[in-house]
A and B are shown apart, each in its own frame.
Chain A
Amino acid sequence: MTAPEPPEASPDTASGGPLEAPADYPLRFEGAAVVLGGRTIWSGVNLDVRAGEFVAVLGPNGVGKSTLVKAALGVVPLSAGRVEVLGGEPGAAGRAIGYLPQRRSFDGGLRIRGIDVVRLGLDGDRWGVPLPGASKFFSRRRHDDERLDEVIELVGARSYCERPIGQVSGGEQQRLLIAQALVRRPKLLLLDEPLDSLDLPNQSSVAALISRICREEGVTVVMVAHDVNPILTYLDGVVYVAKGGAVSGRPTEVITSTTLSRLYDTPIEVLTTSDGRLVVVGQPEAPAHHSDRHTGLPR
């Protein structure tokens, strides 16, 4: 991030400019728009996410942050513009995308181990039954076992992966689910509010884990969040979705008092701490907005 800012870099690009070598973009939106049930969710969205970046999708509740992820997955069709995912159509990338949907928790009585849930991310869509002891005879099964071991180690779930998943904490479940999303070595990881419903220490440790995965595994991460503070230090780019459109750019460009106040329609201050970190104050906090998630009313 020490490269000089080219003056023509528009706030529409998450990072980079013409001075840097041509990079590949695992995720691009060009003039994209989504209309659901006759209502325009957002339109004119431009976004370029570079390989290996950690980009957050931010914005008030109900503006279509999850819709952005679903458009990238090819689950929600665009009404205008185009999306390019890993150089192809959305929905075509399949195995190369890891996806963590919003707010998933497991029934407390579910007597299945965490490691089995992670393994389903690897082979759950294969037909047939896994044979016991097959790893002795089949190299694919052996590779699977090794990969499973690796990803459990990566998310630090070794000590609780053998426990029934209904009985581990929310933060532990989230780590196991991240492992499940990662187990096929995706190039692009789409996470929908992975910090939602976690307490503060867990929010910061899961955020650190995602950042570490992004750096060490070279995975491009696009993560939906409603609170920017736990992840702000790790981000390469942000996309603010609000008022039917989106603004994207580097955190320092987009996260300013004027931009955020305009997007949220409410006074927001961005402060710089003594160690140079940004803190957003006045952003509508998550808990106050939780109730409208369950009403099912159009927001």
Chain B
Amino acid sequence: MTAAQSAPGLSWNVSADLSQLFSYHFMVNAFAAGTIVAIVAGAVGWFMVLRRQSFAGHTLAVVSFPGAAGAIWLGISATAGYFAASIAAAVVIAMVPRSGAGRGYSQESAVIGTVQVFALACGVLFVSLYGGFLDSLTGLLFGTFLGISNSQVLILGVVGAGVLVALAVIARPLFFATVDADIAVARGVPTKLLSVLFLLLLGCTAAEVSQITGALLVFALLVMPPAAAQQLSARPGTSFLVTIVFGLLVTWLGLGAAYFSVYPVGFFVTTFGFIAYVAASAWRAISKRRDSRLALGPA
């Protein structure tokens, strides 16, 4: 009984549940922020998964943790800390030479790993310097949807729109450079510039997503939806749209589940993303078997 009183009640009446969900301003803000973040993360993540740059994306997200922790310690806006740290790390990673389309021998992953672990260590230091509120530590690492202010939603929206517009402008050459770098270079596509621009967009996105899912669970929105969608379709347009739909569903379901339970939002968003990926992989495996059975089938 005590648990039921402390947590909001979930009934079988969907419309009542929904109106209960949106009766609090903080939940409206959480859904607005979640929606923005899901769309931006899906769009940028789709390219990230295609470019095999997941490790870089993870690092840019982890780096946002010391950024936010340092900002809180210094008494400035955590949002500014998120963006400053991720963008700075994106610049560092962009300076590492990258060979071809991720093939060949590159120092990239070693450099990224070094940056990542140092950043994480700095974050721990900042948290203990601040006085070590455990609450803020778990919030930074594993996400929270409580207390997202109107101005935070506005910043997420403005930055998100900027990222989407920039991505739309470079989308096709970026896709070209990702899939077929040799020919893209021969056709005069500025692949190096695109690679730097993309890392900056990825940095902004990682900083955005971190504010909802926490620095460690960014992949829930950045990797899982595109990875699942690319299993389902090899058509670029289709898998891109499916990515956005998955991202939105995962975020909305996760926020709803977190509201009606006592457990953190990061867990739910990640779990729904995981389910989407497993389901997509299973669907692909089944349809592949069906295809090969049809091809080999009894004449």
A residues near B (Cβ < 8 Å) are 73, 75, 94, 99, 101, 104, 106-107, 110-113, 116-117, 120-121, 123-130, 132, 162-164, 180
Contact B172 A99 (CB under 8 A): no
CB pairs A–B below 8 angstroms (20 shown): A101-B183, A101-B186, A111-B239, A112-B179, A116-B179, A116-B236, A120-B176, A120-B183, A121-B183, A123-B172, A124-B172, A124-B176, A124-B180, A125-B189, A127-B169, A127-B173, A128-B169, A128-B172, A162-B234, A163-B234
Further contacts, 18 of them, CB under 8 A, given A128-B171, A180-B180, A180-B183: A73-B186, A94-B188, A99-B186, A110-B50, A112-B50, A112-B236, A116-B235, A120-B180, A120-B184, A123-B172, A124-B173, A124-B175, A124-B184, A125-B188, A127-B172, A128-B172, A129-B171, A130-B172
Closest 7 CB pairs of A and B: A124-B176, A164-B234, A129-B171, A111-B230, A101-B182, A111-B234, A120-B176
- Chain B residue at smallest Cβ distance from A103: B182
Interface class of chain A by DSSP: loop
Contact A104 B182 (CB under 8 A): yes
Q: How far is the CA of A133 from the CA of B175 in the complex (A)?
A: 19
A-B pairs with beta carbons under 8 A, tally: 76
Contact A120 B175 (CB under 8 A): yes
Interface class of chain B by DSSP: helix
- Assuming A104-B182, A117-B179, is B172 touching A111 (CB within 8 A)? no
Q: Is B168 an interface residue (CB 8 A)?
A: yes
CB distance from A244 to the nearest CB of B (A): 27
CB distance from A136 to the nearest CB of B (A): 15
CB distance from B168 to the nearest CB of A (A): 5
Q: How far is the CA of A124 from the CA of B234 in the complex (A)?
A: 17
Q: Which of B162-215 contact A (CB under 8 A)?
A: 168-173, 175-176, 179-180, 182-184, 186-189
Residues of B within 8 A of A94 (CB): 188
Contact A129 B172 (CB under 8 A): yes
Q: Is B237 an interface residue (CB 8 A)?
A: yes
Q: Is B150 an interface residue (CB 8 A)?
A: no
* Cβ 8 A contact of B237, one of A117, A128, A132: A132
CB distance from A296 to the nearest CB of B (A): 10
